[in-house]
Structure 1
Amino acid sequence: MKKSIIITSLLLCLQVNLFAQIQKVTLLNLKPSTFKKAEFDIKLIAEWVNPYLQEDVSLDMLITSPSGKKLLLPCYYENGKSGKMSLWKARFAPQESGTYRYTIKLFKSGKNVSTTKPAAFTAFQNNGKGFLHVKNNWIMQFDNGAPFRGIGENICWESRANDDSRFYKELHENPKYNYEYMLRSLADHGGNFYRTWICSWNLPLDWKSGINNNRYTNSDEYFNPSAIQRLERVMKLSDSLGVYTMLTLGPGAYLEKDGGNVKSAADFFVKPEAKARYKNRLRYIIARWGYNTCIANWELFNEIDNVQFGDKDNPIDASVIVKWHDEMSTYIKSIDPYKHPVTTSISHRDLAGLNSLSNIDINQKHIYKNTDIIPETIVKYETEFKKPYVIGEYGFEWDWSKNFDDFASDMDRDFKKGLWYGLFSPTPVLPMTWWWEYFDNRKTDVYIKKVRTIYDQMISAGEGNFKTVKVQTSNPGVRVMAVECGKKIFIYVLNNSSEKQDVIIFIPRPTTSPKVFDCEKGTYQTVQSTDKNIALKAIGQNAEIIIVAD
């Protein structure tokens, strides 16, 4: 009897291996280079129920870099049928030049059933900057050491088929507001960073129907082909324009009514089947798009506290949500060979423990109707939690039922002020305004060029080093912020009073012939200074100027 059981088991193993074999691996790039996609076609035969579920079938490339680093790269299913020849893909962006060695392993039900012989390829050095990583509270840094600060805005979705705005429905439905137009406009204005969403009406990766956007088609496929194609396009466009994205992944179509496997948001955070589904979604996204250097951050959730209080009478336990974030951020780090920084966001309610998670690299919140608290908020959170803090959304008004034209000048002024506050605060990404269509329509977003002028000088002067400097003013109605970059001190002056002001700025060291940049006109003038004092005459109401002192 025992011999019969052993023989049967051996036959089953042989049968599994017979129908689970990697047949051929082809590197499509003749000359792979650093920070560019090296793409592999992998042909194999395996049986599965769903090739997107790693608990069913999965494929990993195990890579040893030229310096000896061990990397795990998840691969993804492209096409083919169970039990027949199928095509899988590996997309890898080398971060070092030299010879890489690799093997590819096929797993069935979590067990390794086929492994390729060791192979190698050589990556040549190019002049790319590489992937972004957290350097400190002020900046991110590319693989090549170049400093980076994000300056831009939210461009969270393209125009919808049906918008629910009371006053701006026509504006928000205008097909002009697509990535091709908006990202080019952002780059033309000097922006280098934007935040965008995967959701039911934009890049609807795992939605099959109910998509409020004419750019996508309904599909019974596990991942929506039209969303895949659009996200491919967005990545290529971003890369060509030199703009970087905070990609908000969101929960996906997790509810049963949308094709998911749980009945509620509360179940999403605790049910094993929901967590397994989400990890498979993460795995696919990282396998397919993780090689893109234009992805600056993975953002797990938009305003997770609003999800927590979706049912205000029965909120989800914060500890459950925090535990989920810990698990998912840790999982991302285990399968992302490039170690993209991870973030998530709150609206206004902190969740105990969320800001302290070791694999959340950047903490984030959104501030509306209170832009003046941005500098203090950033410093407060960074002091307490010892990691960078970002204001992922801000604005004079959040209520889309109001007519913004009734207070358009306040909207514009708030837009400009928020950018300057960010530039002079220790944050790697300047605060990002909401209402991108509105500000494009008013041409307000052209103002990013003015901020970029000083941004570039700061980066150049200090080679990415920033230091907050305490300066004083003779007038309490004037707000002053200062940053030292190398041998230069940059001073932001805002007249918050209702009258013109004569102001003396007291700086920590003598300066000769400091230059004053008019933030509205974008022009410079030289002013006189006496020892450590800089005298400014008749600063207008709500006027902003930048002093550049050597």
Structure 2
Amino acid sequence: MQSTALVNTSVQQYKKVEWNIKLNAAFTNPYNQQEIKLDLLLTSPSGKPLLLPCYFEEGKSAASLWKARFTPQEAGKYNYQFILTQKSKTEESTATSFTANATNETGFLHKNDLWTFEFDNGKLFRGIGENIGWESRSFEKDKWTYNYLLPTLAKNGANFFRTWMCYWNLPLEWKKVSSTKRYTNSDHYFHPQAIKRMDELVNLTDSLNLYFMLTLDWHGHLMQNGGWKNSSYNVLNGGPAKTPTEFFTLQAAMEKYKNKLRYVVARWGYSTHIAAWEFFNEVDNAAFTAQDSMLIPHAAITQWHQEMSRYLKDIDPYQHLVTTSISHRDILGMNSIPYIDFNQKHIYKHTEKIPAIYPDYIQTFGKPYVVGEFGYRWEDADPKYGEAWDFDYKRGLWYGLFSPTPILPMTWWWELFDDRNMTPYFNSVKEISDQMLAAGNGSFAQIPVVTNKLHAQAVKCGNKYFVYLLNNSNEKNEETVSFEISTGKKFSVQSFTPDTRNYAKVNSFSIENKHLVLDHFALEGKKDMVLIISIIK
């Protein structure tokens, strides 16, 4: 090691700290940790040991520049040194220290319970947002970039989104790209334009206070008639694997993927706004044919996820949330992997089934469950179904808000909903979500609601009850609504109309047999309402 230099003049808790490390060390591929790796070993103020991967920035064997990016989760004095490993040989830098000053920042997100995630500082979080799977492809409107879409989300009540790495978006491992004007083909081990854009994305989310799930791969990568022919894992392109199955089973392929994970954690893991690492989008669509015949053995996929999630937890000092997703077919054993923090499924054409999905999976696997994608259709975003799209978009969010999930269902087809000016609707959902969290400080108890034809969900948060009512039919519906409520108390009832965000006092209710009863409650077709019942002290 020639030199190590701390770049920051002042170190703040939950803020990025950066070092430049100059090496004179021989290597052929600086991204291959079997050949060379640099780590930052720290001891936190509380005495906790932390090992942080560092990453290669530029240069050659005789003079290379490496970087370390670290975010202190504790305030106080850290002791640290760098460790260079080349096969069996190690070299350590002189031990030194820095002090992180306390801040009021929230820190990283972690698992809390079925309803919420929790920041390092104890603040609770529920994700409200949508998929922004990628920036505009070469045949789409140029305006749909992160720089346009993310500020639009942030100013309209959303706090979360999901985005992909693939050969047309953030193509980190793709030498040959397609359907994009933003990236060009590259011979580099990691695509330099993808690295640059990912740096920009992380900086943008940090500035907007938006949190996101980074999908590291997608099913199309492993399809023979899809991305596999251009995959860097394909033996025809110099990779180790002859088939998509070997992507999951060959040791050399797994070591290559671990190089990717190590680089992602080293370069971007410092960001408190990366909420979760997602291994695959809809991995079942790679495992099965369209006729549901098996292409890749379930055991291979499950064992791969077991190994990669364990490895990722080992190298990530911040313990970001880890997940993966399926479309609609479960992969045997994958929901039970201990290092996967929450499970995911995607729902299309059956948004009405969302409320019933959560209890089944939670009871079986005891983990948070997330609907990572949903939509009125999966085939296309045909605007001729516009009103149906809008109705489905709205109810999916409310179904999630009143169900045990830390991230509300996220719609696909973000371009369609931008065109239809639906993004401001997130403000309505956020308004009620904030009230729920404030009222119960994270306490959620589902309450049965008795109705006739109306869809109804209710939760008790502290001393407040929240009831969601939706008329799924096209005709006006008038009926009696009732639910159990604490007795011996006085209550105030108000309604909230999501489309307008208007509140109104409700006077026509009674308390009968420990139930709050609303007679002749009326909702127009395809309309909804939230009732907020407060205990008057």
Q: TM-score range by the shorter chain?
A: over 0.9
Return the match for 2:396 from 398, 402, 418.
418
Deviations 1:196-218 (A, max 9, x none): 00110000112122332111232
Q: Confirm or deny that 1:255 pairs with 2:224.
A: no
3-state DSSP of counterpart to 1:513: strand
Decide which moves more: 464-473 or 288-297.
Answer: 464-473
1:536–1:115 distance in 2 versus 1, CA, 3 Å:
farther
Shift of 1:189: 1.3
Return the match for 2:4 from 14, 25, 36.
25
C-alpha distance in structure 2 between counterparts of 1:76 and 1:310, whole Å? 39
Structure 2 residue aligned with 1:53: 32
Decide which moves more: 224-233 or 248-257.
Answer: 248-257
Q: Confirm or deny that 1:456 pairs with 2:434.
A: yes
| Matched AA of 2:470 | L
| Matched AA of 1:499 | E
C-alpha distance in structure 2 between counterparts of 1:515 and 1:359, whole Å? 43
C-alpha distance in structure 2 between counterparts of 1:293 and 1:326, whole Å? 25
C-alpha distance in structure 1 between counterparts of 2:118 and 2:9, whole Å? 29
Q: Confirm or deny that 1:488 pairs with 2:455.
A: no
C-alpha distance in structure 2 between counterparts of 1:465 and 1:520, whole Å? 27
3-state DSSP of counterpart to 1:59: strand
Structure 2 unpaired stretches of 5+ = 222-230
3-state DSSP of counterpart to 2:491: coil
* 8 Å Cα contact 1:495/1:540 also seen in 2: yes
Shift of 1:355: 0.4
Structure 2 residue aligned with 1:206: 173
Q: How does 1:474-485 map to 2 (within 5 A)?
A: 475=452, 477-485=453-461
Shift of 1:257: 4.7
Structure 1 residue aligned with 2:343: 363
Return the match for 2:314 from 320, 334, 346.
334
* 8 Å Cα contact 1:207/1:259 also seen in 2: no
Q: Confirm or deny that 1:500 pairs with 2:472.
A: no
3-state DSSP of counterpart to 2:69: strand
Return the match for 1:546 from 518, 527, 530.
530
Structure 1 residue aligned with 2:371: 391
Q: How does 1:228-239 map to 2 (within 5 A)?
A: 228-239=195-206
C-alpha distance in structure 2 between counterparts of 1:220 and 1:96, whole Å? 40
1:348–1:314 distance in 2 versus 1, CA, 3 Å:
closer
Return the match for 2:282 from 303, 326, 333.
303
Structure 1 residue aligned with 2:111: 134
Q: Confirm or deny that 1:157 pairs with 2:156.
A: no
Structure 2 residue aligned with 1:8: none
Deviations 1:461-498 (A, max 9, x none): 1122222122222x2x1111001111100000012234
Structure 2 residue aligned with 1:165: none
1:536–1:216 distance in 2 versus 1, CA, 3 Å:
farther
C-alpha distance in structure 1 between counterparts of 2:184 and 2:386, whole Å? 37
Structure 1 residue aligned with 2:501: 522
Shift of 1:530: 1.1
1:369–1:220 distance in 2 versus 1, CA, 3 Å:
same
* 8 Å Cα contact 1:207/1:258 also seen in 2: no
| Matched AA of 2:532 | V
* 8 Å Cα contact 2:287/2:294 also seen in 1: no
Structure 2 residue aligned with 1:10: none
Deviations 1:505-527 (A, max 9, x none): 22322553300111222211111
Return the match for 1:92 from 47, 57, 70.
70
C-alpha distance in structure 2 between counterparts of 1:306 and 1:443, whole Å? 31
C-alpha distance in structure 1 between counterparts of 2:130 and 2:339, whole Å? 25
* 8 Å Cα contact 1:527/1:535 also seen in 2: no
1:307–1:41 distance in 2 versus 1, CA, 3 Å:
same
Q: Which has the larger radius of gyration?
A: 1
3-state DSSP of counterpart to 1:232: helix
Shift of 1:502: 2.1
C-alpha distance in structure 1 between counterparts of 2:295 and 2:47, whole Å? 48
C-alpha distance in structure 2 between counterparts of 1:38 and 1:211, whole Å? 36
Q: Percent identity?
A: 48
Deviations 1:198-244 (A, max 9, x none): 11000011212233211123222211111111000000101111110
* 8 Å Cα contact 2:481/2:521 also seen in 1: no
Shift of 1:112: 3.7
| Matched AA of 2:328 | H
* 8 Å Cα contact 2:284/2:327 also seen in 1: yes
TM-score with structure 1 setting the length? 0.91
C-alpha distance in structure 2 between counterparts of 1:309 and 1:202, whole Å? 25
C-alpha distance in structure 2 between counterparts of 1:99 and 1:378, whole Å? 43
Shift of 1:255: 2.3
Shift of 1:313: 5.0
| Matched AA of 2:459 | V
3-state DSSP of counterpart to 1:279: helix
* 8 Å Cα contact 2:171/2:177 also seen in 1: no
Decide which moves more: 254-263 or 133-142.
Answer: 254-263
C-alpha distance in structure 2 between counterparts of 1:259 and 1:223, whole Å? 14
C-alpha distance in structure 2 between counterparts of 1:313 and 1:371, whole Å? 26
1:67–1:446 distance in 2 versus 1, CA, 3 Å:
same
C-alpha distance in structure 1 between counterparts of 2:293 and 2:446, whole Å? 44
Decide which moves more: 280-289 or 214-223.
Answer: 214-223
Structure 1 residue aligned with 2:227: none
> Pairwise CA RMSD of aligned residues?
1.5
1:387–1:314 distance in 2 versus 1, CA, 3 Å:
closer
Structure 2 residue aligned with 1:11: none
Shift of 1:119: 1.1
C-alpha distance in structure 2 between counterparts of 1:540 and 1:394, whole Å? 25
Q: Confirm or deny that 1:319 pairs with 2:306.
A: no
C-alpha distance in structure 1 between counterparts of 2:71 and 2:138, whole Å? 36
C-alpha distance in structure 1 between counterparts of 2:75 and 2:461, whole Å? 32
3-state DSSP of counterpart to 2:249: coil
C-alpha distance in structure 2 between counterparts of 1:258 and 1:202, whole Å? 20
1:489–1:47 distance in 2 versus 1, CA, 3 Å:
same
* 8 Å Cα contact 2:383/2:416 also seen in 1: no
3-state DSSP of counterpart to 1:322: helix
TM-score with structure 2 setting the length? 0.93
Shift of 1:259: 5.3
3-state DSSP of counterpart to 1:327: helix
Shift of 1:283: 0.2
* 8 Å Cα contact 2:348/2:374 also seen in 1: yes
1:385–1:33 distance in 2 versus 1, CA, 3 Å:
same
Shift of 1:418: 0.2
Structure 1 unpaired stretches of 5+ = 1-21, 163-172
* 8 Å Cα contact 1:466/1:484 also seen in 2: yes
| Matched AA of 2:30 | P
Structure 2 residue aligned with 1:76: 55
C-alpha distance in structure 1 between counterparts of 2:232 and 2:459, whole Å? 45
* 8 Å Cα contact 2:234/2:241 also seen in 1: yes
* 8 Å Cα contact 1:204/1:211 also seen in 2: no
Q: Confirm or deny that 1:64 pairs with 2:40.
A: no
C-alpha distance in structure 2 between counterparts of 1:454 and 1:237, whole Å? 27
3-state DSSP of counterpart to 1:514: strand
1:355–1:211 distance in 2 versus 1, CA, 3 Å:
same
Shift of 1:258: 5.1
C-alpha distance in structure 2 between counterparts of 1:46 and 1:53, whole Å? 14
